[in-house]
Structure 1
Amino acid sequence: MPHPHIREAEAHLAELRAALLAHGITLPSLGLELPSLAASYSAPLVALGNCNQATAQALTAALRKGAAG
């Protein structure tokens, strides 16, 4: 039986991926954490994964820009 929150988690994941892409950022390993899909008592976790230093700097800049409003 599929996880009860998987559609919601996939929608949030797609929104995050689109928001990152709007800033020119791609996290290659972005996805749902597979072990969390086996747990039926909580929503699946989003795995941000690894990125190189340039992507980390771009992500930091986007977050700072957003925080500055």
Structure 2
Amino acid sequence: MPSSSKIQEALEARDALAAALGGAGIQLPAMDVRTPWADDRGRDAGYALVHLGVCSAPVALLLADVIRKGSAS
């Protein structure tokens, strides 16, 4: 399992992303933090992942629009 600091980093990233998306009127239904499986030698990955889950097509289109607008700034 990744260190607690890496898990905390992923939790903070998830919360920051959720807040930014919320500010744009977008809510993903299932955002959480996951840890990758150990490799075939039993070594941990050393990091945690922000899992964005799944979203509906309308939400995906809203997200794409927000990204496009942001990258144009």
Q: Which residue of structure 1 aligns with residue 48 of structure 2?
A: 44
Q: Which residue of structure 2 aligns with residue 60 of structure 1?
A: 64
TM-score (norm 1): 0.82
Q: Which residue of structure 2 aligns with residue 3 of structure 1?
A: 2
| CA-based RMSD | 1.6
Identity percentage over the alignment? 35
Measure the CA separation in 1 of the matches of 2:65 and 2:45.
35
Measure the CA separation in 1 of the matches of 2:28 and 2:14.
12
Deviations 1:23-63 (A, max 9, x none): 00111111112x42x55332111111110111011101100
More helix by share: 1
**Higher alpha-carbon Rg:** 2
Measure the CA separation in 2 of the matches of 1:13 and 1:29.
11
Measure the CA separation in 2 of the matches of 1:54 and 1:22.
17
Matching of residue 12 in structure 1 with residue 16 in structure 2: no
**Unaligned 5+ runs, structure 1:** none
